[in-house]
Every structure is written in C-alpha cells, then in structure tokens.
Amino acid sequence: MCKSEFGFSNFKKFGFVNKGHVVSIAVVEEHRKKGIGNALVEESVNGVKLRKCDEFYLEVRCSNTDAVRLYEKYGFAIRQQLNAYYRDGEDAYLMAIELT
C-alpha cells in the first residue's frame, strides 16, 4: 500500500528527503462510505511518520473527486498535475503533505 524512499522533495527543499509514497489505496465500491478509506489513509500517514519520513505523496486521478477530498481532509495538497499519467490517458494530481 505504501513505501518509503529517498528522492527530491515535493516542497522545493534542496537535496534528497525521506518520503512516504502511497502506491495504492482502494475500497471495493459496495463497501465505500463506511469509513474504510479514512482508516486506510490514517494508518498510512501514521506508518510513514513511524518511518521518520519528512513528507508523504501520492498520485490520484483528477476525476476522482471523492479521493481528492479525502486526501485533502488529511492535509494533502495538490502540488502538480501530471498529464496523461495513466495508461488510458487520464491526468493525475500529485498530492503531498509535509510531516515535520
């Protein structure tokens, strides 16, 4: 679901930083709106904090407004739009949060 890595900051800091990366979070449609997504995001944020990550980021489909709102609830902000990010040609938002 998540991993930690070293890479360039999404917040214009110099050098490499320890970053958490949401690889995939999904909830089966019949189980949405039950708090499962909230629990998964909350646990992922707590997990990367335990790994002493400086920031946390993810990519999400621009059309997935429910997911964008969920991530914003946890402090993630849209940092960049990634054109044609997905195989079907849809754009993604790169969203990130500082954890310091």
Beta carbons of 94 and 82 less than 8 angstroms apart: yes
Residue 57 has φ and ψ, to the nearest 5°, of -140, 165
**Residue 23 has what pLDDT?**
93
**Residue 15 has what pLDDT?**
80
Residue ranges covered by each domain of the chain = 2-98
pLDDT tens for the chain, 100 residues long, are: 899 999 999 888 788 899 999 999 999 999 999 999 999 999 999 999 999 999 999 999 999 999 999 999 999 999 999 999 999 999 999 999 999 7
CATH architecture of 2-98: 3-Layer(aba) Sandwich (3.40)
